[in-house]
Amino acid sequence: MPTQCNGCRDGTAFDLPFSMAFQPIVDITSGAVFAHEALVRGPNGEGAGFVLGQVKDDNRYAFDQQCRVKAIELASALFDPSDNVKLSINFMPNAVYEPRACIRLTLATAMKTGFPTDRIIFEFTENEQLDTKHILHILRTYRDMGFKTAIDDFGAGHSGLGLLAHFQPDIVKLDMDMIRGIDTDPIRRKIVKHTLHLLEDLAIVPLCEGVETAGELQVLKDLGVSLIQGYVLAKPSFELLAVPIAPETLINRAA
């Protein structure tokens, strides 16, 4: 299967083997798994840094394409086709030169494996300076094609509110630094509370990631957050789908 689209100026292969771990995103209102995020790992489960340290400007495109393929291939084998659990795939905006051209391999892989494209969420992290016009073009194209979109690590990157002024994704993932210790930090609670109100006004679904304690989980539930991701519920599982702990069990312990 080719790893570059027609006209792509970056044809350097990414030769390091890698695979994926999956971490569940849980709707704590219902207790059901909403999605699993695909997280890059080394071929034997090594941490993401083992792989990401080999990503360079000249192989970024190939790596981004291979990540999508690997995530969809594994998900198609692991996911129950009878439910509607989503697959969240991280993409690199700077690896996408033209979204409709660079999505071809993703669509071909989904068709080959039978994985429904309406169950795919594309998320990106605003951890590097991005061309706002370029990222808006990608997000709008993906939405037009029926994919869900998400901003990861919101509150920690460069664009933040400025990006939301131009485009409202389906999901915003609040950065874990905003969540850490929220049960004992009134300032963080106020920041998160007002951020949640903003997202509600914009009809964007909030997702709190990096939740590690039952106390944090309880506060977020009290603030009305439904979608939670973090070690308190489940750690990523290498090439498997982790079964999260029931949210109510943890909340009852914290009470």
Residue 1 forms part of a structural domain: no
Residue 213 forms part of a structural domain: yes
pTM of the model: 0.91
Contact, 86 vs 121, CB < 8 A? yes
- Which among 129, 124, 133, 134 is positioned nearest to 154, based on CA atoms? 124
Q: What residues form DSSP beta bridges with 120?
A: 87
The predicted pLDDT at position 249 comes to: 80
Contact, 183 vs 218, CB < 8 A? yes
pLDDT in tens, the chain (255 residues): 334 443 344 467 898 999 999 999 999 999 999 999 999 999 999 999 989 999 998 999 999 999 999 999 999 999 998 889 999 999 988 888 889 989 999 999 999 999 999 999 999 876 666 678 888 999 999 999 999 999 988 876 556 788 888 899 999 999 899 999 999 999 999 999 999 999 999 999 999 999 999 999 999 999 999 999 999 999 999 999 999 998 888 877 665
> 242: domain CATH number?
3.20.20.450
3-state secondary structure at position 200: helix
How many C-beta atoms lie closer than 10 Å to residue 161's C-beta?
Answer: 10
Residue 45 forms part of a structural domain: yes
Which residue range forms the structural domain that includes residue 170? Answer: 19-254
Residue 141 forms part of a structural domain: yes
Residue 5 forms part of a structural domain: no
How many domains is the chain built from?
1
Residue 2 forms part of a structural domain: no
3-state secondary structure at position 87: strand
- The phi and psi torsions of 22 (rounded to 5 degrees) equal -125, 135
The predicted pLDDT at position 159 comes to: 60
Residue 12 forms part of a structural domain: no
Residue 3 forms part of a structural domain: no
3-state secondary structure at position 121: strand
